[in-house]
Structure 1
Amino acid sequence: MSDPRPVLVVTALYDPTADVVSAELHDRGVTVVRLDSGDFPGSLSVEAEITSHGVWGSISTPSRTADLAGIRSLYYRRPSGFAFRHLDEKDARFAVTQARYGLGGVLASLPGCLYVNHPHRIGDAEFKPSGLAAAVAARFDVPPTLITSSPAAARAFIKRHGPVIYKPLHNPVYLIDGASSVVKVADVSADEADDGVAGTAHLFQLLDWRTDYSKLTYSVVQPPPGIEEALRGYMRHFGLVFGAFDFAVDHDQRWWFLECNPSGQWYWLESETGLPMRAALADLLERAT
């Protein structure tokens, strides 16, 4: 007998990775309810009652309604932020806070639901310093990394370890002339670490592989001894079910941990490698394994 419980997919309207997973689940006869929390409260509504018997109620989009107690799994990807543009700044700030802790709290409290991943665990794991510390504890090799707002410390680190890259600690989307843009990972010299470093926190690291995507090729490899065990230890530390790990492999075949993105992109690698990644994630969400 098929399982009638739906899979909840929480993400923005444009998300090709969520698109292919949703299509895979649909082809299997699994009901998918997709929503963007940024649509709340306009085209998205929630009714949740919490009693001594549990959490009851529903969440509704223009086309579907899901029973909160009947959701089998939640695929939390990249929803857009709450926006109350019709309100003044003070009221909008209050409304956003209520939406975050109201709708967000309900989505984080679904009974019997498998989270891929739980939004609170994603939040914990997105702090790069915490991730690097957890990687050390999991016995990954971690490249020398500096987090600082001191120009002098940055210059000294670059001179000691160069070549060094700069990458943002978190990467919000900027709108430049109406187009979305993000701060890219890039090489940085000691001369470039000027007084502007004092303006906020910056992350400098010994190595990275993403400075020239055009030269990259892709193939399936077997990790060396210890990597799989360290992966599992890292995931347990943050309570993650899924993670997109980035490593750099040096000329001595030593694997260096760079980061783990708990909501990372992966579908582009399926066509490059032939690995059944979409099917594997659908298996997880369907709870078929």
Structure 2
Amino acid sequence: MADDRHVVVATRLDDVTADLVIAELNERGVPVVRLDPGDFPSSVTLDVLLDEGGPCGRIRTATRSIDVSAVRSVYWRRPSPYSAPAGIRGDEAQWCTDQARYGLGGVLGALPGAHYVNHPWRNRDAEYKPAQLSTAARCGLQIPPTLITSDQARAREFAADYGPVVYKPLWNTDYTAPDGRHLNIWAAEVTPDSITAQVSMAPHLFQQRVDKICDIRLTAVGENLFGVRIDGAPGLDWRLHYDKLAYSPIPVPSDVAKAVHAYLDAFSLVFGAFDFGLDRDGHWWLYECNPNGQWAWFPDHITGRITRALADRLQHPGVRR
């Protein structure tokens, strides 16, 4: 029998990664609803009854209607932030935003029988770098020595003992300069002398620099692991040099694969984007895992395989492949 239950893709309008998966599902004839929770209440409405029979009712977008009791799977990508109705300000706006998050967000996180890639609450749990690194080490992945501190003297001591050392932000906060430019803080090498007393203003992450020969992005979709070698970056952070990069598939060693699956299980994740550095001895050093990372910038022969794996998972949530 045909399965006419919907796949819900929770994301904003400008999401090329989600576009690829939606196109693949459409080509297969799978019913898909694109929903941005951030559009509530301007163009999204909610009407759900909760009783002993479980949730029933509908979430409606400007063009589609979702039966919350008949959702096959959810691809939780990059939805816009929850917000208040236009014209509402201050505490009232915060109140409306919180009600949207815990009301609509609560319903979307409790769809009966739906398979999540990933569940939004599991994404949240897996976004903390201290938890990522400690879990990775426990699961058997190699991690560089890492210090999280707000103490200048301790940071300088670590940089002297483990140098060369890099600094990385613990979270990529959106930041706009007074002139309107969007700014990012990238990974950068630091010396003991460059670490100032401003470290005391927030926790900072310092990590021993891996003597790498290349970078690796490993994209995990359930049991499927897609390792991609990234060559050509002239600097420390390859994300600054997309125009100079070359990509090639790379086999995933069995011990790394086993540890990656253990990591996903520890956080109850289906999807993960793992960043590694490969050293001259062939060791894979984990930097971090983004539970909702990007992959659509890869060449077509790589993105196509990841797209199909995600579509398989969403179309056939009960089948493990």
Q: TM-score range by the shorter chain?
A: over 0.9
The two structures, once aligned, show a CA RMSD in angstroms of 1.7
Letter of the structure 2 residue corresponding to residue 207 of structure 1: R
Q: Distance in 1 between matches of 2:47 and 2:278?
A: 49
User: Residue 82 of structure 1: CA displacement?
Assistant: 1.7
Say whether 1:14 aligns with 2:43: no
Q: Which region of structure 1 is more displaced relative to structure 2, 272-281 or 9-18?
A: 272-281
Structure 1 residue matching 2:144: 3-state secondary structure: coil
Q: 2:157 corresponds to which residue?
A: 156
1:254 corresponds to which letter in structure 2? H
Taking structure 2 as the reference length, what is the TM-score of the superposition? 0.85
Structure 1 letter corresponding to 2:193: D
- 1:51 and 2:44 aligned: no
Q: How far does residue 169 in structure 1 lie from its aligned partner after superposition? A: 0.9
Give, in whole Å, the separation in 1 of the partners of 2:252 and 2:301: 18
Corresponding residue for residue 115 of structure 1 = 116
Which moved further from structure 2: 65-74 or 187-196? Answer: 187-196
Residue 42 (structure 1) shift? 1.1
Instruction: Give distance in 2, aligned partners of 1:244 and 1:42.
Output: 33
Equivalent AA in structure 2 for residue 92 of structure 1: A
- Separation in 2, partners of 1:14, 1:180: 17
For these two proteins, the number of residue pairs brought into alignment is: 289
Q: Could you tell me which of 252, 260, 263 is aligned with 1:231?
A: 260
CA 1:110/1:270 → structure 2, altered by over 3 Å: closer, same or farther? farther
**Structure 1 position 180, deviation (Å):** 3.4
Partners of 1:187 and 1:211 within 8 A in 2? no
Q: Quick check: 1:57–1:69 contact (8 Å CA) kept in 2?
A: yes
**Alpha-carbon distance, 1:243 to partner:** 0.6
Aligned mates of 1:162, 1:144 — CA distance in 2? 10
2:185 aligned partner, one-letter code: V
SS at structure 1 position matched to 2:55:
strand
Matched residues in 1 for 2:38 and 2:173: separation?
A: 16
Structure 2 letter corresponding to 1:25? L
Q: Aligned match of 2:270 in 230, 241, 249? A: 241
5 Å-filtered alignment, 1:1-289, equals: 1-84=1-84, 86-176=87-177, 177-207=179-209, 209=215, 211-213=237-239, 214=241, 215-271=244-300, 273=302, 276-287=305-316, 289=319
Which has the larger strand fraction? 2
C-alpha deviations, 1:209-230, integer Å up to 9, x for none? 5524535422111122311110
| 3-state SS of paired residue (2:265) | helix
Q: Deviations over 1:66-90 (max 9, x none)?
A: 1001110000011111222522211
Residue-by-residue CA offset, 1:10-54 (whole Å, 9 max, x unaligned): 112211100111111111111211111111111111111111011
C-alpha distance in structure 2 between counterparts of 1:28 and 1:212, whole Å: 35
User: CA offsets, 1:177-205, max 9 Å, x none?
Assistant: 33433222222222221111111111111
Letter in 1 for 2:209: L
**In percent, how many aligned pairs have the same letter?**
45
Contact 2:83 2:100 (8 Å CA) reproduced: no
- Distance in 2 (CA, whole Å) between partners of 1:274 and 1:134 is 28
Runs of 4+ in 1 over 6 A off after TM superposition: none
SS class of match (1:73): strand
Structure 2 residues without counterparts, runs of 5 or longer: 216-235
Give, in whole Å, the separation in 2 of the partners of 1:191 and 1:46.
56
- Separation in 2 of the partners of 1:37 and 1:173? 20
For each residue in 1:254-274, what CA deviation from the matched residue of structure 2 results, as whole angstroms up to 9, or x when unmatched? 111111111000122243647
User: In structure 2, how many angstroms separate the alpha carbons of the residues matched to 1:160 and 1:194?
Assistant: 17
Equivalents in 2 of 1:40, 1:246: separation in Å? 34
- Cα distance between partner residues in 1 of 2:172 and 2:302: 27
Q: Secondary structure at the match of 2:107?
A: helix
Structure 1 residues 7 and 147: CA distance shift in structure 2, 3 A: same
